[in-house]
Amino acid sequence: MHPLLAEARRLGLHPKRSLGQNFLLDDVHLDRIAQAAELVDTDTVLEIGPGLGVLTTRLAQQAARVIAVELDDRLIEYLETRLADYSNVQIVHGDILEVDPGQLISGAPTVSPSVAYKVVANLPYYITSAVLRHLLEAHARPTRAVVMVQKEVAERICATPGNLSLLAISVQFYAEPSIAHRVPARAFYPVPKVDSAVLRLDVRPQPAVTSVTPERYFRVVRAGFGQKRKQLGNSLSANLGLPKAQVVAALEAAHIDPRRRAETLSLAEWGELSRLV
């Protein structure tokens, strides 16, 4: 048994499935996550769910500052003791979805969008989409996020037109995604049912579409994806509550065939459509 696990067990820290606790103890994969973040010694890193602190120590050695947010109260004292030698690490007890990342990094209630930080995390999978949304829609977005997610989710996020989903568009609107590497289920303890992948998000300085507001853009995208496998003309008309003729006219003005399906449209086509509908 890995010495860390033996120690955790001795302290009664059994992994909690309800908190997505699958600990990564494989040095090769841990090093590769840190490498994908391309940390420099001036970086501030937000780590989500430090768990037993294995990734945290690597981040602390490479970055100027690490703020690690952990929800499990059983782990806080353990993490503080284990990371006591790293004066650049701050452990925060809380739910990442309840804290504003920019406020956390700057320590101030009013945050400039230019607060610079990176996110590195082996995410709890039960809140993957919610966390990505929380980070990418934050007032101060990270410049890069390197996150371990379920392999299929990483692939879905990196899809191209023909296979795009609401999740892929929501991420690609704010960031350029790529898969840094894949991680087999056996690299974790306990071994999960799914394989994983390290997803790298290079956050865009500006959203991919700036001709309409994100609210307007996503109102139309959500309406388009509202009815699975339906032609766009029908789903938009039903979900936006607009006459079909009006929707078809907007689609034609945007040079989009009304018979196409939502998953085939590029981000730019959604932009043009949301401007016209």
Positions that interact with ligand SAM (CB under 6 A): 19-24, 48-52, 54-55, 69-72, 95-97, 122, 124, 127
Q: How far is the CB of 60 from ligand SAM (least distance, A)?
A: 13
Cβ contacts of 215 within 8 Å, gap of 6 or more:
none
The neighbour count for residue 103, using CB atoms within 10 Å, is 16
Q: Which residues contact 30 (CB under 8 A, 6 or more apart)?
A: 24, 54, 55, 58
Q: Which is nearer to ligand SAM, 26 or 269 (CB)?
A: 26
In the complex with ligand SAM, the residue whose CB is nearer, 150 or 237, is 150
Query: Closest distance between ligand SAM and the C-beta of residue 71, in Å?
Result: 4
Cβ-based nearer residue to ligand SAM, 43 or 70: 70
β-strand pairing of 144-150 with 196-203: antiparallel
User: In the bound complex, which residue of the shown chain has the CB atom lying closest to ligand SAM?
Assistant: 49
* Least gap, CB of 189 to ligand SAM (angstroms): 8
Closest distance of CB 252 from ligand SAM, Å: 45
- What is the sign, positive or negative, of the torsion defined by CA atoms of 128, 132, 133, 138? positive
Nearer to ligand SAM, 44 or 122 (CB): 122
For the CB of residue 197, give the shortest distance to ligand SAM in the complex, in Å: 14
Alpha helices in the chain (DSSP H): 3-10, 27-36, 54-62, 73-82, 101-106, 128-136, 151-157, 166-172, 214-225, 232-240, 244-253, 267-276
SS3 letters for 95-113? Answer: CHHHCCHHHHHHCCCCCCC
Q: Of 162 and 190, which CB lies nearer to ligand SAM in the complex structure?
A: 190
